[in-house]
């Protein structure tokens, strides 16, 4: 299934404006655009000339943002044995077609499986585990927002895991709490935690070795062409993404909470925030 890119160019503009606490008036003054022109862009009315004037004010890469607005690029398909993305609908008032992801990493030989986040409900995860004959060994939560833990209680009831983990600064019921820079083994998988807060107060990303390529399960820290929004921790989120995720080897697969899977190299080349 081709998962749509989560954010549009106007979402990127709004996240950058909110994060930097720049209202419509400030954007108008700094860009030289009228209030009407600023508001039109933020409403998704594309005018490339206007977009090229507003993007630098928000410290966004102009050419990347224009390419995004044109819909010129979509990430290469990720097909990796032992990695499954389960995408679930998550409609909201202003985003009726929104969705959320959870992921299953599994050993194709032993059938041991790890779930990263639980989406909005457990049933699609349980169906995949059963279809593949997998044994759930652990669940890792990136952060506690409802679209990432909606299936948590049901999943643990239906398929009790040996271990359940969550960030120490965003605890989840019955989970062992993990600090940043922790390493642990689950079967053949080595899992390392890195703190990627900003979008939420204590979010962790999980760097995983044990598949044919290195994989990072990043929650809402970074998306294909975008990142999680934040009112308070915008600069922190940017810095964490640059220093802890986009500094990983270029071929590292990024598994985000929303939108398609991507890679470090692709985000460095195409994401307008960086």
What's the pLDDT at 156? 86
Residue 110 has pLDDT above 70, yes or no: yes
164 pLDDT higher than 70: yes
- pTM across the whole model: 0.95
Is 9-70 CATH 1.10.260? Answer: yes
Q: Where are the domains of the chain?
A: 9-70, 83-270
Query: Per residue in 169-212, pLDDT tens?
Result: 999 998 999 999 999 999 999 999 999 999 999 999 999 999 99
Q: Which CATH number fits domain 83-270: 3.40.50.300, 1.20.120.80, 1.50.10.20, 3.60.15.10?
A: 3.60.15.10
The predicted-structure confidence for 16-35, as pLDDT tens digits, reads as follows: 999 999 999 999 999 999 99
DSSP the chain: --PPPS--HHHHHHHHHHHTT--HHHHHHHHT--HHHHHHHHTT---HHHHHHHGGGGT--HHHHHHHHHT---PPPP--TTEEEEEEE--BTTBTT-EEEEEEEE-TTT-EEEEE---S-SHHHHHHHHHHT-EEEEEE-S---HHHHTTHHHHHHHS--SEEEEETTS--TTPEEE-TT-EEEETTEEEEEEE--SSSSS-EEEEEESSSS-EEEEETS-BTTB----SS-HHHHHHHIIIIITTS-TTPEEEESSS--EEHHHHHHH-TT-
> Between these two residues, 146 and 66, which has the higher pLDDT value?
66
pLDDT tens, position by position, 229-269: 998 899 999 999 999 999 999 999 999 999 999 999 999 99
């Amino acid at each position: 299934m081709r998962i749509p890119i989560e954010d549009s160019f106007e979402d990127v503009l709004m996240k950058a404006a909110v994060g930097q606490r720049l209202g419509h008036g400030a954007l108008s003054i700094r860009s030289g655009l009228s209030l009407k022109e600023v508001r039109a862009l933020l409403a998704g009315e594309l005018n490339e000339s206007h977009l090229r004037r507003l993007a630098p004010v928000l410290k966004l890469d102009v050419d990347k943002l224009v390419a995004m607005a044109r819909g010129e690029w979509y990430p290469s398909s990720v097909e990796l044995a032992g990695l499954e993305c389960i995408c679930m609908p998550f409609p909201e008032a202003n985003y009726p077609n929104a969705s959320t992801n959870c992921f299953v990493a599994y050993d194709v030989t032993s059938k041991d499986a790890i779930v990263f986040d639980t989406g909005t409900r457990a049933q699609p995860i349980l169906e995949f585990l059963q279809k593949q004959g997998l044994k759930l060994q652990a669940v890792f939560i990136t952060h506690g927002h409802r679209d990432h833990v909606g299936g948590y209680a049901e999943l643990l009831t239906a398929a009790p895991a040996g271990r359940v983990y969550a960030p120490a600064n965003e605890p989840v019921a019955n989970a062992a709490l993990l600090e940043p820079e922790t390493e642990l083994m689950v079967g053949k998988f080595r899992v390392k935690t890195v703190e990627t807060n900003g979008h939420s107060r204590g979010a962790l990303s999980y760097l995983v070795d044990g598949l044919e390529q290195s994989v990072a399960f990043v929650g809402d820290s970074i998306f294909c062409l975008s990142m999680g929004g934040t009112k308070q921790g915008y600069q922190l989120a940017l810095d964490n993404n640059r220093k802890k995720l986009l500094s990983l080897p270029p071929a590292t697969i990024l598994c985000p909470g929303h939108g398609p899977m991507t890679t470090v190299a692709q985000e460095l080349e195409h994401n307008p925030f960086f």
